[in-house]
Amino acid sequence: MNVVIKADPKAVTEFACEMVRERLAHDRYRVLGLPTGGTPVLLYQALIASYQRGEVDFAEVITFNLDEYLGLEPTHPQSYRRFMEENLFSHVNIRPENIHFLSGLPDDIDEHCADYERKIVEAGGINLQILGLGRDGHIGFNEPTSSLRSRTRDKTLTKATIEDNRRYFAREEDVPRWALTMGVGTIMDAHEILLLATGRNKADAMKAMVEGPMTAMCPGSVLQVHPRVTVVCDEAAAAKLDHDAYYRWMEENDYRMQGFLDEQRRRVESN
Ligand code: GLP
């Protein structure tokens, strides 16, 4: 796990935006897995600004969103489908047929989820999966106790998650209790993962995810065994990490290592 600690959400956003831009441009990544929630909003704004400056192109990009509330129409103001439309899709040149979403009103849940998995495979798999982190350590809507090998399916939300999402709905009883979500195993199949966490209320989940034991009680902790994960967080979310000095040291030395590798390459080329 590569843990990058930045001063504030703005710096987290700059880092994440640069990484997404670089992957789309240089590594020719095409398939993105996308999250919703408050955390990625700044990233989406930065990507829109980048697109407007001509730095990033979504014409060939294919997206799969992580999850959707069960019971909400795609046009419902609080549906994740609508969230993505308002916060990213309607502002960039992504092709509507390249946007994939779980339905909040599927005819047959199992068939619908299996079909979503099939579509991810048909697209060639997810190149870069972007994630947020729930206060209880969930990723997507994989709440604590989710099987670490789970696939796309329905999930009952915890009361804590319902409380967290209460702010988006008029009344508590309007907050959906169930969702469809990519499974933990589905997320783990991505080639590379970028997780964003900001704010003090994520400090416990960050500690459990990065430095705790790998456990279904903190589904995010499974990322410890993924070979290409970058966690970028602000100081507030990093507040409870014990090894923060090492993460900072590592980042500092990564740049130095790049210099060392460039120097080596020059030496080989000049011989
Ligand atoms: C929801 C989403 C997650 C998201 C989490 C945290 O539960 N399903 O994908 O990571 O909220 O949201 P926020 O970024 O608003 O803290």
Q: How many CB atoms are closer than 10 A to CB 123?
A: 16
Q: Is residue 269 part of a domain?
A: no
Alpha helices, H only, 132-224: 159-165, 184-188, 203-211
pLDDT digits (tens, 9 = 90+) for 156-182: 999 999 998 899 899 888 999 999 999
Q: Is residue 214 part of a domain?
A: yes
- Give the residue, out of 12, 39, 158, 232, with the most ligand 1 atoms within 8 A of its beta carbon, to mutate for a pocket test: 39
Q: Is residue 84 part of a domain?
A: yes
pLDDT digits (tens, 9 = 90+) for 41-91: 999 999 999 999 999 999 999 999 999 999 999 999 999 999 999 999 999
Structural domain total, the chain: 1
Q: Report yes or no: 125 and 31 within 8 Å, Cβ to Cβ.
A: yes
Residue 67: active-site member: yes
Parent domain of 53: 2-240
The CATH number for 118's domain is 3.40.50.1360
Q: Is residue 263 part of a domain?
A: no
Give me the pLDDT at residue 219, please: 98
List all residues 6 or more positions away from 62 whose beta carbon is below 8 Å from its beta carbon.
30, 31, 32, 98, 100, 123
Residue 244: active-site member: no
Q: Is residue 249 part of a domain?
A: no
Q: Is residue 46 part of a domain?
A: yes
Q: Is residue 126 part of a domain?
A: yes
Check pocket membership of 134 for ligand 1, CB cut-off 6 A.
yes
Q: Is residue 120 part of a domain?
A: yes
Residue 154: active-site member: no
